[in-house]
Amino acid sequence: MKKLLFIACFLITSMLAFAGFEIKGGTYFNGSDDIKTFSGSPFDLDAGYTARGEFYIANEGFSIGYGAAYQSIGKHDITTTKLSYIDAAIPVYLSARYATIGYGSWMPYIKGNIGYSFYTKGKDLNSTDLIKPGLYYSGGIGANINDFLIEVTYEISKGEFKILPNNYDFSVSRISLEIGYNFSGNY
């Protein structure tokens, strides 16, 4: 654990010295949770919110970096009952972004993220139930407008419930709208 903390502190410090930092917040309006073997169709999710921080190194329109987010997961609409299996997803990811030709103060871009998503349990799971982390990926478009950011992304977080004695794979997908600020000024 100490090694992991040391590596995380080293990465954050090095990126702060050489990279730009962005913070974003937003909401997702439409989400679904597909839990294999619970039912044949995905469950709808209530709206939730997202908060994220990202570090980037930019070079002539192309940027690479990493980030982490906290994404609340809305309650699951299961027939007439609303249940909370997952409270939040916490993805940690690598990111790549390409900024196209700017139009005045607008700098549009496309981006993609890939990483690993960890989860916090919802109140409707027992203490013996587990949620195993899984793959996280997303793609989106956005614009930098005088260092203010607006972004629309499609995100998928995968994982596995261990509700003894069974395992259930799940996939949470959502479209999110986020606004933020670029502290570095470079793109």
Give the type of residue at 94: L
Which residues does 64 contact at the CB level (< 8 Å), separation at least 6? 56, 57, 94, 95, 96, 97
Q: Structure tokens of 69?
A: 């987010």
Residue 124: phi and psi, rounded to 5, are -90, 10
At residue 38 the predicted structure's pLDDT band, cuts being 50, 70 and 90, is low
Ordered DSSP codes for 141-160: EEEEETTEEEEEEEEEEEEE
Q: Which residue has the tokens 């410090």?
A: 13
- pLDDT, tens digit, for every residue of 110-166? 999 999 999 887 766 666 677 889 999 999 999 999 889 999 999 988 888 777 777
The burial class, CB within 10 Å (0-12 / 13-18 / 19+), for 171 is middle
> Closest Cα partner for 24 from 178, 186, 157?
178
User: Could you tell me the fold of the domain covering 2-182?
Assistant: Porin (2.40.160)
Q: Percent helix, strand, coil in the chain (nearest 5)?
A: 10, 70, 25
Q: Structure tokens of 66?
A: 């990493």
Determine which of 28-37, 46-55, 126-135 has the lowest per-residue pLDDT on average.
28-37
